Chains A and B, each alone.
Chain A
Amino acid sequence: MTETLIVAFIVLAAMLFWLGRLFPAGAAGFRSRIGLGSRVSGPGEIRKGCDNCRGCKGGGCH
């Protein structure tokens, strides 16, 4: 039973990760509804101006 729960949890986490990537606006809305509001940008944060795409992670795409 525990094993099944762990597996279900891992699969659910992977599913949520991809839902967040595929529907970022919906995911952000959902996070704020459950009290996990979007992170506030720090002053030193880099914005590349690519429509808020964060894929670069501070250097090049992906």
Chain B
Amino acid sequence: MDAVVSPDPATKPLRAALVGNPNCGKTSLFNQLTGSRQKVANYAGVTVERKEGALTTPGGRKIRLLDLPGAYSLSATSPDEDVTRDVCTGRHAVEPRPDLIICVVSATNLALHLRFLLELCQIGRPIMVVLNMMDEAERIGLTIDVPGLASALGLPVVPAISLRRSGVTHLLEALDRPDPPPPAPIPEGADLHAEVAALIGRYTNALSLRGDRLADRLDRWFLHPVWGPVILLVVLFFMFQTVFAWAQPVMDALEAGITALGEILLSPLPQGLLRSLLADGVIAGAGTVIVFLPQILILFLWILALEESGYLPRAAFLLDRIMALAGLSGRSFIPLLSSFACAIPGIMAARTIQNPRDRLVTILIAPLMTCSARLPVYTLLIAAFVPHRTVGGIFGLQGLVLFALYFVAIVSGIVAARLMTRGVTSDEHPLLLELPPYRRPNLRSLALGLWQRAVMFLSRVGTIIVSLNVLLWALSSFPAPPAGATGSAIDYSLAGMIGHWMLPVFAPVGFNWQICVSLIPGLAAREVAVSALATVYALGATEDSAATQLTPLLSAHWSMATAFALLAWYVYAPQCISTLAVMRRETRSLKVVIGAAAYLFGLAYAAAFLTYHATLALTG
């Protein structure tokens, strides 16, 4: 076991798979070893499909590394666990059986994680054990006799701290050694729980530890039947207040910067096609969306911090009763929560739900959760139509309206789920949730997460949004108006004609033809609707500055009823083709996708209609 493998570039790379219980740090380890940046969080069920990366050890050994979804046993009960079982047992349709299984075990939860390890010993593949989170074990005073445990298991056991680069040095060294032989299988009928208890008693001081007192104290509040939901509500409320309050100064600075940059870029250009394309297409389109970056980052700062802290699974536990009202279990909470960032990972995370009916209903209501792409639309309209004042001397009215929009979407999701599950009782297992330890969010990891979000957002602006706005500019500029035309040039363009054709359908909900035009590119990504409105209004305006002054332009041209109707439309409309495509892939049913699009568009239209007429009646 000590001889180092000689590097031979001609040899086939070793196929190794990271396997273990959920939330034991497999993806952190994968990221650390392969240099990738897959999503990690402090709760179970983040990884729902296999991921693949490559690494070369210091000794030159090439390894193809698989990161598999977490599993509690090889008796899979959900689609994500199926993947792990099939790959480990060589039954996967595409993935060959791994040469080496790297079983990741959390040092702080040996009682649960060693049981799965013993089960893995039965499949007859070479296994290496990674004892992860050794820093946390040390923090709570847990000591482990690593050589003793390795000798008892008959497997190489490597301590690791997957969050630190230096924490995987021993693992890399171990990977340079020849692979261990497959372990001797545990005798048939052996009591795995008793085996684990014996190992823990002999090689650790876990039994003499009194547990994490701080976690117990916090749980007493956070999981309290009354105070728990109150705290959750306060956290969410504060989160939406800060989205407006903290972002405004940076947004103002960004807006001023974009206006100044536009002037510098446009001043040498004479009036003409190129100037119009840059001013009304590129600057208007990209500029109006980029200013929302601070708000999006503040929202993600909260989401990332809550993810890392270990609070989110507690929220899932609290909401189990509310989920039951919707005919679902708390297991649907994490997929629905992921949908607040983007419905696509949320729909994919529904793979952790065992019951097919619950999984389908979760997928169908995931688009109702307010994804971050809706934020630019919401904040633009709120800033234009909701006065910037406080309520009760403490709460910002704009933040309150934003909170209400999120709240309405959640309630609508619960009601929709209730209607879909009515009359059918769920046979989903009761919610058994592993509560992770509380962790102080790591600043570096938060900064990295925000940086990734910012890069993703800006690359979306630079590609999807700018290109769509260029096309929209072309559609809004050609054909040119006929000689002697009296109206605005855009009225005679292709976009103008399309907008006017759509108008009879959308006029009853208060939309004008400009909104109709913006809904089409908005199908590619919701926030494009904002940049599309900027382009359409900029082309109809006489000054370049109109491009970056969409907010006052809207408040001057639209009624409050129209703005609120558009807000209501965006709460429900499934205006993101990618979401529908993922829904099709996950359900493998076109019927489901058509049904989902029909019910969501129907809801959007009805909500916009009611909102428009109710606001008209109230405002006269």
Q: Which residues in A have their C-beta under 8 angstroms from that of B344? A: 55, 61-62
Q: Which of B453-488 contact A (CB under 8 A)?
A: 455-456, 459-460, 463, 466-468, 470-471, 473-474
Write out the residue numbers on chain A whose beta carbons fall within 8 Å of the beta carbon of B578.
Answer: 55, 61-62
CB pair B35 A44 closer than 8 Å = yes
Cα distance A11–B278 when bound, in Å?
A: 12
Report the separation of the CA atoms of residues A60 and B525 in the bound assembly, to the nearest whole angstrom: 16
A11 with B49, Cβ < 8 A, contacts A60-B341, A61-B345, A62-B342 known: no
* Residue A6 interfacial (CB < 8 Å): yes
Give Cα A21 to B51, complex, Å.
Answer: 23
- List which B19-60 residues lie within 8 A (CB) of chain A: 34-39, 49-55
Known contacts A17-B467, A46-B52; A6 and B345 CB within 8 A of each other: no
Stretch binding the partner chain, chosen from B176-184, B269-277, B322-330: B269-277
How does the 8 Å CB contact mask read for A27-62 relative to B, with 1 for contact and 0 for none? Answer: 000000000000000011111111100010111111
Considering the chains assembled together, what is the distance between the CA atoms of A44 and B468 in angstroms? 32
Q: Which residues of B contact A14 (CB under 8 A)?
A: 466-468, 470-471
Does A51 contact B471, Cβ atoms closer than 8 Å? Answer: no
B258-286: contact bitstring with A at CB < 8 Å (1 yes, 0 no)?
Answer: 00000000000000111001000000000
Cα(A36)–Cα(B202), bound, Å: 63
Report chain B residues within 8 Å CB of A7: 273-274, 277
Bound-state Cα–Cα, A55 to B524, Å: 13
Contact across chains for A44 and B277 when beta carbons are under 8 A apart: no
Contact B345 A49 (CB under 8 A): no
**Looking at the complex, which one of A10, A15, A43, A60 makes contact with B39 (CB distance below 8 Å)?**
A60
Number of interface residues of B (CB under 8 A): 41
The reply to whether A44 and B34 form a contact with Cβ atoms under 8 Å apart is yes
B452 at interface (Cβ–Cβ under 8 A)?
yes
* B321 in contact (CB, < 8 A): no
**Main SS of chain B's interface residues?**
helix
Expressed in whole angstroms, the Cα–Cα distance for A60 and B341 within the complex equals 9
Minimum CB–CB distance from B335 to chain A (whole Å) comes to 13
Partner of B471, one of A6, A18, A50, A55: A18
**B53, A44: Cβ atoms closer than 8 Å:** yes
Partner of A59, one of B39, B468, B582: B39
- Give Cα A49–Cα B351 distance, bound, in whole angstroms: 14
Q: Does A46 contact B585, Cβ atoms closer than 8 Å? A: no
- Residue of B with least CB distance to A47: B52
Q: A15 to B38, alpha carbons, bound, how many Å? A: 31
Q: Does B113 contact A (CB under 8 A)?
A: no
Quick one: given A60-B342, A61-B342, A62-B460, are A46 and B53 in contact (CB under 8 Å)? Answer: yes
Q: Are A3 and B51 in contact (CB under 8 A)?
A: no
Interface size on A, residues (CB 8 A): 27
Q: Bound state CA distance, A58 and B50, in angstroms?
A: 14
B contact residues around A10 at 8 Å (CB)? 277, 470
Interfacial residues of chain B within 78-121, with CB under 8 A of chain A in the complex: none
Contact with A along B306-349 (1 / 0, CB 8 A): 00000000000000000000000000000000000110110010
User: Which of B35, B51, B459 has the most C-beta atoms of chain A within 10 angstroms of its own C-beta?
Assistant: B51
CA distance A11 to B466 in the complex (A): 11
Docked-complex contact B274 and A48, CB < 8 angstroms: no
B359 at the interface (CB under 8 A from A): no
Q: How far is the CA of A48 from the CA of B506 in the complex (A)?
A: 40
B61 within 8 A of A: no
B49, B274, B466, B473, most chain A CB atoms within 10 A: B274
Check B51–A58 contact: CB distance below 8 A.
no
A16: nearest chain-B partner, CB-CB: B467
User: Contacts of A51 on B, CB cut-off 8 Å?
Assistant: 585
Cβ–Cβ < 8 Å partners of A47 in chain B = 51-52
Q: Is B62 an interface residue (CB 8 A)?
A: yes
| Contact across chains for B470 and A11 when beta carbons are under 8 A apart | yes
Residues in A neighbouring B37, C-beta threshold 8 A = 58-59
CB of B49 within 8 A of CB of A49, answer yes
Among A45, A55, A59, residue most surrounded by chain B Cβ atoms (within 10 Å)? A59
Please tell me if the beta carbons of B471 and A15 are within 8 angstroms of each other in the complex: yes
Closest residue of chain A to B473, judged by CB? A11
The 3 closest A-B pairs by CB, nearest first: A61-B344, A14-B467, A14-B470
New A-B contacts (18) at CB < 8 Å, excluding given A17-B463, A50-B348: A4-B273, A7-B273, A7-B277, A11-B470, A11-B471, A18-B471, A43-B62, A44-B36, A44-B55, A46-B53, A59-B38, A60-B39, A60-B456, A61-B344, A62-B342, A62-B344, A62-B456, A62-B578
- Give me the interface of B with A, judged by CB distance under 8 Å: 13, 34-39, 49-55, 62, 272-274, 277, 341-342, 344-345, 348, 452, 455-456, 459-460, 463, 466-468, 470-471, 473-474, 525, 578, 582, 585
- Jot down 16 A-B pairs with beta carbons below 8 A, ordered by A: A3-B274, A11-B471, A11-B474, A17-B463, A44-B34, A48-B49, A48-B51, A50-B348, A55-B344, A58-B37, A59-B38, A60-B452, A60-B456, A61-B342, A61-B345, A62-B460
Listed in ascending order, the chain A residues whose CB lies under 8 Å from chain B are 3-4, 6-7, 10-11, 13-15, 17-18, 43-51, 55, 57-62
